[in-house]
C-alpha cells in the first residue's frame, strides 16, 4: 500500500526520488535565486508535461528541476514561468 513513486524536493540541494523501488539523488540546477514564488507549481507542471510526452520519469524530474530553476532566477509570478523555448 502507498505510493510507488515519491519526490522529496530539497531546494538548492536537489531532490530524492523513490521510483520503481529504486532511490535516486537528483542534483539541482544551480542559479542565483531571486524569487521562489510559484517554483513548486512550475516544477509540478513541467514534470507532468514532460512525463506525459516522453514517459521517462527521471528525465521528467530533471526537466522539472531546470524549469523551476529558471523560474526562481526571475522575479514575478506567471510572467516569470519558463516557456519551452527557454528550456532549450
Q: Can you tell me the distance from the alpha carbon of 52 to that of 17, in angstroms, rounded to the nearest whole number?
A: 18
- Is residue 27 part of the annotated active site? The answer reads no
**What is the tens place of the pLDDT at every residue in 7-55?**
999 988 999 999 999 999 999 999 999 999 999 999 999 999 999 999 9
Asked whether the predicted pLDDT for residue 1 surpasses 90, the reply is no
Residue 74 grid coordinates:
526571475
The predicted model scores a pTM of 0.92
Q: How many angstroms separate the CA atoms of 28 and 10, rounded?
A: 9
Q: Which of 13, 27, 35, 41 is catalytic?
A: 41
Q: Which pLDDT score, from 0 to 100, does residue 45 have?
A: 97
Separation of alpha carbons 63 and 7, rounded Å: 14
pLDDT value, residue 80: 97
The residues spanned by each domain of the chain are 5-86
**Closest to 9 in 3D by CA, of 18, 1, 33:** 18
Amino acid at each position: 500500500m502507498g505510493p510507488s513513486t515519491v519526490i522529496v524536493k530539497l531546494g538548492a540541494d536537489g531532490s530524492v526520488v523513490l521510483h520503481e523501488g529504486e532511490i535516486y539523488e537528483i542534483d539541482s540546477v544551480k542559479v542565483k535565486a531571486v524569487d521562489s514564488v510559484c517554483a513548486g507549481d512550475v516544477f509540478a507542471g513541467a514534470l507532468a508535461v514532460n512525463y506525459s510526452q516522453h514517459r521517462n520519469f527521471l528525465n521528467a524530474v530533471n526537466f522539472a528541476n531546470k524549469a523551476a530553476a529558471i523560474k526562481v532566477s526571475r522575479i514575478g509570478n506567471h510572467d516569470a514561468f519558463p516557456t519551452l523555448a527557454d528550456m532549450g
